[in-house]
């Protein structure tokens, strides 16, 4: 192809590249906001089945939405009022007794065993003594306060983000039908029926998946609290909350939570308590993987196991926890689109 005006072609090409760079920069700047919107929309799809369930029980649509919103706000307020003060108290008590805890570790049998095995390379008792002395020194605590200030800012940002996500979730839940209607109207009429059918199937699957994952995480948190209470574990409420949060992550969430809890009980309680927790989690993870999780998730999304692993790893790498959460429903949606559109289109040719 012969270029008639090289200057004009170069100018247009440069402008196109500039607009592309500008768009990429804008998307990068809005990454946090887009993440909030994606998380809120994801949660709203999880609340949509509850709204439909109430409508099916002859609730007016507005009453069903209002009931779900009030229930969500009540649960959030209840968790904040009941869990947060205890977490703060237990964390403060842990920080206050940390030097004594570290010092007491030197008398533990397993620490003595480690020191015997690795004493030629590392003096475990000396390391623990140095840590205890470090935390006993007020000046060292003051130096840590600078880092704590940065952590406090991060926590404040996290709280602000959570409030934004909750507000957006409630808005999306109340206007889900309107949002769907607008999106459906943008599709050509000849393809609208198929698009609506597939969209409803996808959003329904996503909603059931969110509900199932939250139920699984809630079960994990409750059982962890009961276990630690029965065996006399330390900071039961804190570790139960950690178990709930991490169990929201598919595949590896329970493993991460169990590792933290077992190590925490080993340090704070006793080796016997940590051993009981280890045995419990080994049994629980088998039951969750082969009994509980399949029964919950198979009703929501039908994705082969290998695809689940790949999708969760890829989503977690790209977007962290949120990416791991949304990866499996996205994989199920892609599989549905391939089965319903791509394969039939190939068969026609």
Max Cα–Cα distance, the chain, nearest Å: 86
* Mean pLDDT, rounded, of the chain: 74
Give the model confidence (pLDDT) of 241-291 as tens digits.
888 888 887 777 888 889 989 888 887 777 888 889 999 999 998 888 777
Tokens of 312: 């969760």
DSSP secondary structure code for residue 270 in this structure: -
Report the range of poorest mean pLDDT among 53-57, 202-206, 303-307: 303-307
Mean of pLDDT values over 220-241: 87
Taking residue 216's Cβ as centre, other Cβ atoms within 10 Å add up to 21
Question: Domain residue spans in the chain?
Answer: 30-186, 191-343
**What radius of gyration do the chain's Cα atoms show?**
26
Question: In this structure, what token pair is assigned to residue 28?
Answer: 């990068």
The three-class DSSP label of residue 120 is coil
The overall pTM is greater than 0.75: no
CB 264 within 8 A of CB 243: no
Answer yes or no: are the C-beta atoms of 262 and 281 closer than 8 Å.
Answer: yes
The pLDDT score that the predictor gives to residue 25 is 79
Q: How confident is the model at residue 145 (pLDDT cuts 50, 70, 90)?
A: very low
> Which of 303, 291, 290 is CA-nearest to residue 331?
303
**DSSP string for residues in 36-60:** HHHHHHHHHHHHHHHHHHHHHTT--
**Rounded mean pLDDT of 298-302?**
62
pLDDT at 14: 82
State residue 279's pLDDT score. Answer: 92
Q: What is the pLDDT of residue 148?
A: 45
Contact 337, 198 (CB under 8 A): yes
* More confident site: 17 or 317: 17
Please give the Cα distance from 171 to 292 (Å, whole number). Answer: 32
Gap between the Cα atoms of 303 and 298, Å rounded: 8
Number of Cβ within 10 Å of residue 3's Cβ equals: 9
How much is the average pLDDT of 159-167?
78
């Amino acid at each position: 192809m012969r270029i008639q005006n090289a200057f004009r072609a170069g100018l247009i090409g440069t402008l196109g590249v500039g607009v592309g760079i500008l768009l990429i920069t804008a998307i990068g700047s809005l990454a946090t906001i887009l993440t909030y919107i994606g998380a809120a929309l994801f949660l709203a799809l999880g609340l949509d089945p509850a709204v439909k369930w109430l409508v099916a029980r002859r609730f007016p649509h507005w009453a069903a939405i209002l009931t779900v919103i009030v229930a969500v706000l009540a649960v959030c307020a209840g968790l904040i009022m009941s869990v947060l003060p205890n977490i703060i108290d237990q964390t403060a008590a842990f920080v206050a007794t940390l030097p004594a805890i570290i010092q007491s570790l030197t008398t533990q049998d397993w620490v003595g065993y480690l020191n015997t095995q690795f004493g030629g390379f590392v003096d475990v008792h000396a390391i623990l003594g140095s840590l205890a002395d470090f935390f006993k020194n007020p000046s060292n605590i003051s130096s840590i306060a600078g880092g704590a200030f940065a952590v406090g800012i991060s926590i404040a940002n996290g709280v602000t983000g959570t409030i934004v996500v909750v507000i957006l979730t409630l808005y999306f839940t109340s206007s889900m039908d309107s949002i769907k209607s607008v999106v459906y109207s943008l599709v050509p009429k000849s393809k609208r029926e198929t698009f609506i059918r597939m969209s409803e199937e996808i959003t329904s699957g996503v909603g059931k998946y969110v509900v199932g994952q939250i139920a699984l995480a809630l079960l994990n948190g409750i059982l962890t609290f009961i276990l630690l209470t029965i065996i006399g574990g330390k900071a039961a409420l804190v570790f139960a909350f950690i178990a709930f949060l991490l169990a929201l992550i598919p595949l590896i969430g329970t493993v991460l939570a169990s590792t933290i809890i077992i190590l925490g009980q080993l340090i704070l309680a006793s080796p016997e308590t940590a051993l009981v927790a280890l045995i419990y989690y080994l049994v629980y993870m088998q039951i969750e993987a082969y009994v509980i999780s399949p029964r919950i998730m198979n009703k929501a999304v039908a994705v082969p196991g290998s695809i689940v692993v790949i999708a969760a790893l890829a989503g977690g790498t790209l977007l962290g926890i949120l990416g791991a959460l949304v990866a499996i429903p996205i994989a199920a949606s892609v599989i549905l689109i391939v089965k319903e559109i791509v394969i039939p289109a190939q068969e026609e040719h």
